[in-house]
Amino acid sequence: MKVMLFANTDWYLYNFRLSLAAEIKRQGFDLVLVSPNGEYGPKLRELGYEWIAAPMDRTSLNPLRELALLWWLKRLIQLEGVTLIHGFTIKCAVYGSLAARLAGDVARINAVAGLGYVFISNDIKARVLRPMVRGMMRFALGGDRARLILQNPDDVDMFVRTRLVREEIIRLIPGSGVDCERFKPNQRSRTNNPPRVLLPARLLWDKGLAEYASAAREIIADGYQAVFLLAGEPDPGNPASVSRSDIEKWVGEGILEWLGHVDDMPMLFCSVDVVVLPSYREGLPKGLIEASACGLPLVTTDVPGCRHVVENGINGYLVQPQSSQMLAIAIKNLLDNSSLRQRLGIAARRKALMEFDERIVLSETVSTYGEVA
């Protein structure tokens, strides 16, 4: 069997799917990684993986360009002898599945992590695209030799209720998992003074960046001595991306410290006291499950994806989405009580080991391959 992993960025393959790539090779399958060109493609090759740059523009609406991409994918599947394609994100899932159907009898696994800009945003472009994308998903994602991997029960309910796919082809698997040996608690007691709060994410408005900045501003104005960190980069290919000028404004105001891209996330998590993600909707947020594995208390929103990582009052707090005031209250509760932070952090680590360990996720994913191969 030859597997193709198809993603909309090489960054995603490198940062989220290396463990899956290694497991596929360990199982004795052939593998090719496909994504648009970027700085991480050569790094994938350095690790010994076959990586091919796709002529794909994530934001393109040009029909001729999109048809050319579809034809290119179909030819690539045939030339590489791919027998199973695993697509990530809605666009790769749809295009990969359509190309696989055109190429012949190719099994299809699709992992949709959250609903993305088209379904979350209410701007005109998103509303216009939504019916068309729904129609393409209905046509592309179904079939006996297809499985759809979703990351939380809310998304399962939405896909079934809107009849995007048949319920029997859906598999609920918690994201890409987390390496609980690499991401583990700091063995030394956290004695940061002042305490350090971190938001780790792609810098998109729908990750709750504005609410985080407002909450930090309010907490500092109330006299709290705390450091508010932001780890991640803007995503120019996403219409919801925060601009560098917005970030620099918050930094200049003295309410946030921006770390940019961080390679050593385990080290960063070991240096902070609280992790925050006030997102509007997620599949299963990688930053939260990594922080959970590191034994950190979490503050996030009561929305799909996030509420499946955090149990309110057990391993963190769930707050109303798009409410900087409620976010600030939850963060202040943790800043006020170090023993509470420790108790919630212990519970967070326990949940990560039981539910999000990547060994569980990899086993379930490869088992899904066996259903359609």
Residue 186 within any structural domain of the chain: no
> Are 277 and 160 found together in one domain?
no
Q: Do 312 and 170 share a domain, yes or no?
A: no
- Tell me the pLDDT band of 283, cut-offs 50, 70 and 90: confident
DSSP assigned state of 201: S
What span, in angstroms and rounded, lies between the C-alpha atoms of 162 and 130? Answer: 13
Q: What one-character-per-residue DSSP string does 262-305 give?
A: -S-HHHHHHT-SEEEE--S--SS-HHHHHHHHTT--EEEESSTT
Nearest to 50 by CA among 39, 42, 58, 60: 42
Q: Which residues of 314-332 are buried (b: 16+ CB within 10 A; e: fewer)?
A: ebbbbbebebbebbbbbbb
Residue 187: inside a domain, yes or no?
A: no
As for how many domains the chain has, the answer is 2
Verify that 139 and 225 share a domain, yes or no: no
Q: Residue 312: CB partners within 8 Å, gap ≥ 6?
A: 302, 318
Mean per-residue pLDDT over the chain, rounded: 92
What's the pTM? 0.88
Instruction: Report, as an integer, the average pLDDT of 234-260.
Output: 94
What is the 3-state composition of the chain as percent helix, strand, coil, each rounded to the nearest 5? Answer: 50, 20, 35
pLDDT at 127 over 70: no
CA distances from 169 to 90, 109, 244, 308 (A): 16, 10, 41, 22
CATH, residue 31: 3.40.50.2000
Is 156 in the same domain as 217?
no
Name the residue among 288, 263, 257 with its Cα closest to residue 356.
288
Q: Residue 86's beta-bridge partner residues?
A: 5, 109
Contacts 24+ apart (CB under 8 A), 250-254: 250/213, 250/216, 253/217, 254/220
CB-based contact 84:106 (threshold 8 Å): yes
Q: CA angle, 328 as apex, 327 and 331 as ends, to 5°?
A: 90
- Which range marks the domain in which residue 350 is found? 196-356
Residues 207 and 173 in one domain: no
Tell me how long the chain is. Answer: 373
Asked whether the predicted pLDDT for residue 261 surpasses 70, the reply is yes
* Tokens standing for residue 334: 């943790």
Q: In angstroms, how far is CA 87 from the centroid of its own chain?
A: 14
SS3 state of residue 85:
strand
pLDDT value, residue 357: 97
Separation in Å, CA 284 to CA 128, 195, 349, 364: 26, 26, 16, 16
| 9 and 132 together in one domain | yes
> What's the whole-number mean pLDDT along residues 155-172?
90
Q: What number is the average pLDDT over the span 182-193? A: 78
Shared domain for 200 and 267, answered yes or no, is: yes
pLDDT > 70: what percent of the chain?
94
pLDDT at residue 118 is higher than 60: no
Residues 242, 157, single domain; the answer is no
Asked if residue 157 and residue 11 are part of one domain, the reply reads yes
Pairwise CA distance, residues 336 & 341, whole Å: 9
- Tokens describing residue 118: 């088209």
Cα 343 to chain center, whole Å?
A: 27
Q: Determine what percent of the chain is predicted with pLDDT higher than 90.
A: 79
